[in-house]
Amino acid sequence: MNLEHFIAKRISFSGRKSFTGIIVMIAIAAIALSLSIMIITSAIITGFKKEISEKIVSFWGDIHINDSNINRSFEQIPIDDARDLIVSLDSIKYVEYEDDKRILGVPIKGQRVMNKTKGGIRSVQGTIMAPGLMRTREDYNGIILKGIGEDFDWDRLESSIIEGKRIEFPESASSDDILVSKYTASRMKLSVGDRVLVSFIKDRDHIKRRFEVSGIYNTGLEEYDSKVAMVDISEIRSILGWSDDQVGNIEILVDNQEDLDILSEYIYYEELPAHLFSSTIRQKLPGIFEWLKLQDINEQIIMALMVIVGIINMITVLLILILERSKMIGILKAVGATNWSVRKIFLYNSGYIVFFGLVIGNVIGLLFCFLQERFSFITLDEESYYLAVAPIDLNIISILLINVGSFVVILSIMLLPTLLISWISPIKVLRFE
């Protein structure tokens, strides 16, 4: 242990009941509070973005394939020979692509390398959308029926079923189950087991189908929950007069969201015939994903403010420590200590304060996140935020970056107030004493 480190350690743990000791404890508390807020902010915003994205993807998929003329038509255009295309897409386990060479994440212009996606296609499912009018004895409501088959991926959506069960597909016939949203069930006073009548118009003919409510779901995305109910795709095919090998959309779920754009582009150019096109869910619903991106700005602002709070507190404390220890500074300079050597004492001292603040801040932040995840005591307005409770998603790398970044930034700024030591004259200080 060098001399500067030894002196810094001695003065850091002495005089805790003095005025300076109280100031140091306040500084530690401020650092702890700032760090805990940064950890909580990062966990909540990351969890918020993840939960909303997963809700949308569970309902609509990551990539959509449609007929290229669908934007100019209110009716869905059937995709023929869908089974062969679905099997082909489902076999994609990864994609190789050419990209700029990167060093520490920075692209190097003019140098290209071959990369491979982190994953491929997780699942592929055919769906058909059909507008209709849902009726009960007491009410009616416009609805869009989403026809799904046995290949539908329930892994994410099943957790949103709050009553009843998912649609069951019998082997010999089509299912008359219908999965309605909480919004629709509340508006039309429906419960599991109730029967509903849905009317369709096909070539000016009125077609009616009866369904039984098998379950009620709630994704929290009221904009979509209020419009969509799910039924057996065979029923929609029967209404539209389509064959078993025709679908209106092909929805794809990917293994890794980072590969989304690459996989969508690969599918469009390498897998699809000319009359079909692929688009990502971000392209189909840009508004909500742009809104989610704005949360990153909120996170950055909060992080910056908390670091500034920590810096201001540490500058104040360090100036007080330097002024209080001016006699010690004068003596050290008188016996031959250099300005940098004395400055290092106070930098070490600042390091101790910041370190203990970070340790306490981590404990507070992680404990808060654990309690929120366990007991969900922070609630949200689901209509406004699409979630009923504040979600938590702790990322170890993010926490480490917050800790290391805070420590380095605050300690680096502390170099400035220690310049005051260079202006302290040992002769004047000792004469004054």
> What stretches in the chain show pLDDT beneath 50?
none
Q: Is residue 59 part of a domain?
A: no
- The candidate with the shortest Cα–Cα distance to 300, out of 38, 36, 30, is 38
pLDDT of residue 433: 52
Q: What is the pLDDT of residues 278-302, one digit of tens each?
A: 999 999 888 889 989 999 999 999 9
| Domain identity same for 98 and 170 | yes
Q: Is residue 118 part of a domain?
A: yes
pLDDT of residue 48: 94
- H or E segment to which residue 201 belongs: strand 195-202
Q: Is residue 149 part of a domain?
A: yes
| Domain identity same for 240 and 335 | no
Q: Bridge partners of 164?
A: 215
pLDDT of residue 428: 63
Q: Bridge partners of 90?
A: none
Q: Is residue 10 part of a domain?
A: yes
Among 224, 248, 274, the domain-final residue is 274
| Domain identity same for 102 and 185 | yes
Spatial contact of 390 and 41, defined as CB atoms under 8 Å apart: no
| Domain identity same for 417 and 308 | yes
| Domain identity same for 162 and 101 | yes
| Domain identity same for 102 and 200 | yes
| Domain identity same for 316 and 184 | no
| Domain identity same for 223 and 317 | no
Q: Is residue 421 part of a domain?
A: yes
| Domain identity same for 99 and 232 | yes
Spatial contact of 320 and 416, defined as CB atoms under 8 Å apart: no
Q: Is residue 388 part of a domain?
A: yes
Following DSSP, what letter does each residue of 74-111 receive, concatenated?
A: SSPPPBTTHHHHHHHHHT----EEEEEEEETTEEEEEE
| Domain identity same for 78 and 211 | yes
| Domain identity same for 150 and 268 | yes
- Look up tokens 């300005």; give the residue: 339
Q: Which residues of 315-342 are buried (b: 16+ CB within 10 A; e: fewer)?
A: bebbeebbeebbeebbebbeeebebebb
Host domain of residue 108: 69-274
Burial of 121 (0-12, 13-18, 19+ CB in 10 A): buried
Q: Is residue 107 part of a domain?
A: yes
pLDDT of residue 388: 87
| Domain identity same for 181 and 306 | no
Q: Is residue 116 part of a domain?
A: yes
Q: What's the domain count of the chain?
A: 2
Q: Which residues of 124-133 are buried (b: 16+ CB within 10 A; e: fewer)?
A: bbbbbebebe
The whole-angstrom separation of Cα 283 and Cα 252 is 14
